[in-house]
Amino acid sequence: SEAYLAQPKLKPRAAIVILSEIFGVNKHIRAVADGFAMAGFLAIVPDTFARLKTGVALGYTPEDIAQGRLLKNQAEALPAPGVLAEVQAAVAHADQAAGGLVGIVGYCWGGLLTWRAACQIKGLSAAVSYYGGGMTLPEERARQAVCPVLAHFGNQDPIIPMDTVEAFRQAQPEVQVEVYDADHGFNCDHRGSYNAPAADLALERTLAFFIRHLGD
């Protein structure tokens, strides 16, 4: 499966694995990877749909959303470890390619996978989840992370009710939980829910978190 790789100009300070939304390795997530490379990180986006269909790069129309949801449901139904096998491979590759510590960041479904990765995958030193749909539900919040985690949520997100975010915060005192006046998908500038102030603040916190935990 084709992963997207973004290289920094100089020797990378560390590596970051980026897990996409349900839209696959599309233009937006490649731009996100390029942004992390500009900040000095080697960035790799694995194709989390590779076992089902390769080369998925959807837009944000209702049809695209329906197709992405269908693929996500199929991926979630795969026998364990399912798509986490792709994530583990990407972490191992990132570790070799950068020769330093490895972090992970994910958005929407990728945010949920990031939380699972933080709890189950070896070789991670930091994890950042953006509005991980499902991660605040009882089954997911019962997991235990094995690396530091930062989790971003929007208080206007219809997919992730705030009472479940509070329950997650209570269950996970070690996790840095940040809440924004924003909708689901607030980081994606290709979507109507894009919220520039929230996206900028979340990115600032994300970069600071990675620099703190992936630095020398």
Compute the Cα dihedral for 203, 205, 208, 213 and give only its sign: negative
Instruction: Strand 176-180: give its sheet, edge to edge.
Output: 4-6, 41-45, 14-19, 102-107, 126-130, 149-154, 176-180
pLDDT, residue 125, reads 98
pLDDT, residue 215, reads 86
The pTM of this model reads 0.97
CB atoms within 10 A of CB 142: 10
**Average confidence (pLDDT) per 10 residues, the chain, 216 residues:** 88 96 97 97 96 95 96 96 95 91 98 98 97 97 97 97 98 98 96 96 98 89
